[in-house]
Copies of this chain bind each other. A is one copy, B any other.
Amino acid sequence: MGAPKQKWTAEEEAALKAGVLKHGTGKWRTILMDPDFSAVLSLRSNVDLKDKWRNINVTAIWGSRQKAKLALKRSPLTPKHEENGKALSVVVQSNEEVVDAKPLAMASGTPRNGGPKDLLARLDGSTQMILAVCSS
Contacts and interface: CB of A to CB of B under 8 A. Distances in A.
Q: Chain copies in the assembly?
A: 2
A7 B43 contact: no
Interface string A1-39: 100100101011000000000000000000000000000
Chain A interface secondary structure, helix, strand, loop or mixed? loop
Contacts of A82: 7, 9, 78, 80, 84
A106 B1 contact: yes
Contacts of A4: 88, 90
Interface in A62-89: 78, 80, 82, 84-85, 88
Interface residues of A, number: 18
B11 A84 contact: yes
A78 B80 CA distance: 9
A111 interface: yes
Contacts of A106: 1
Interface of A: 1, 4, 7, 9, 11-12, 42-43, 78, 80, 82, 84-85, 88, 90, 102, 106, 111
